[in-house]
Chains A and B, each alone.
Chain A
Amino acid sequence: MADRIVGRRSVLDGLVLPARNGIVSVIEATPAARFIYRGDPGLIGDAFGIALPTTPMQARASGARAALWLGPDEWLLLAAASEATTVAAAVAGKPAALVDVGHRQVGLSVSGPRAAALLNAGCPLDLDEAEFPVGMCTRTILAKAEIVLWRTASDAFRMEIARSFAPYVVAFLVEALHGIDR
């Protein structure tokens, strides 16, 4: 009985994610450990395995780990779900703030040749690859929801959304897909 109680259930369970063959598809990203790091980027550098990017709006990734610049002293750190305690230990005792937001948000992967067009239904940023190249990330808005958007490939984005907004974001993208031609 106990094993059933502690089973992890995604907020997206039971929702139909928008997808159209060969055009665009939205899938849930692998569950991850997530942290917000606030402080001097030099303090955590080696311990996390990736030097935190100090160029605005840049993300660095290596394997399952990624560091996303969100502000001049703020980064979103992603790691495999099993590595949460390892990442927390990397900052222990240092004068910086590390907040576990692993269960606050949920990741979505948006991919396909029309991924940018689908996101632009609610995101006012210019997502042309010349303006928003691979490796760029930022906090922005998608319709009424605040999201973190990261371009992981020419035709693929990772989106981090608050879990309470997940049904809204999915419903919005399903609706927006009707407006995507081709």
Chain B
Amino acid sequence: MLLIHCPYCRMARPESEFRYGGEAHVVRPAEPANVSDADWAAFLYMRANPKGIHAERWRHVHGCGRFFNALRNTVTDQILRTYPAGTPQPALDAHAEDGR
């Protein structure tokens, strides 16, 4: 079982208390009426799906109940860092990006 550090509870908690919430930092257009159909479809449906570091939302649903963001290596399933929702994506040093 993965141990995921919850930035609100400030401790590592078992994976089974969490739910995955999709890609993080997807910004909703401020004026949806002025967005073209293609751009709106891209906002709704197009996701990065990278092989490597992925910023994604998680929810500590059976804990504090809060959403937060995590940087996860999709190859190794290692969660490199978690940070509160609404904060910018932190930079990773080369060692962390290696994922090992």
Which residues of A are in contact with B by a Cβ distance under 8 Å? 56-57, 70-72, 74, 124-125, 138-141, 146
Of A72, A74, A146, which one neighbours B62 at CB under 8 angstroms?
A146
A124-B1, A139-B64, A146-B62 known; 10 new pairs, CB 8 Å cut-off, are A56-B8, A57-B9, A70-B64, A70-B65, A71-B8, A74-B64, A124-B17, A140-B13, A140-B62, A141-B16
Q: Mark B82-98, 1 if CB is under 8 A from A, else 0.
A: 00000000000000000
**Chain B interface secondary structure, helix, strand, loop or mixed?**
loop
When chains A and B are docked, how far (Å) is the Cα of A56 from the Cα of B17? 16
State whether the Cβ of B22 lies closer than 8 Å to any Cβ in chain A. no
When chains A and B are docked, how far (Å) is the Cα of A52 from the Cα of B62? 21
Please name 26 pairs of A and B residues whose Cβ atoms are closer than 8 Å in the assembled complex, sorted by A.
A56-B8, A56-B9, A56-B10, A56-B11, A56-B64, A57-B9, A57-B11, A70-B64, A71-B64, A71-B65, A71-B66, A72-B8, A72-B64, A74-B64, A74-B65, A124-B16, A125-B13, A138-B9, A138-B63, A138-B64, A139-B63, A140-B13, A140-B62, A141-B16, A141-B17, A141-B62
State whether the Cβ of B14 lies closer than 8 Å to any Cβ in chain A. yes
Which chain B positions have C-beta within 8 A of A57?
9, 11
Contact B17 A140 (CB under 8 A): yes
Which chain A positions have C-beta within 8 A of B16?
124, 141
Which chain A positions have C-beta within 8 A of B14?
124-125
Contact A139 B62 (CB under 8 A): yes
When chains A and B are docked, how far (Å) is the Cα of A125 from the Cα of B4? 12
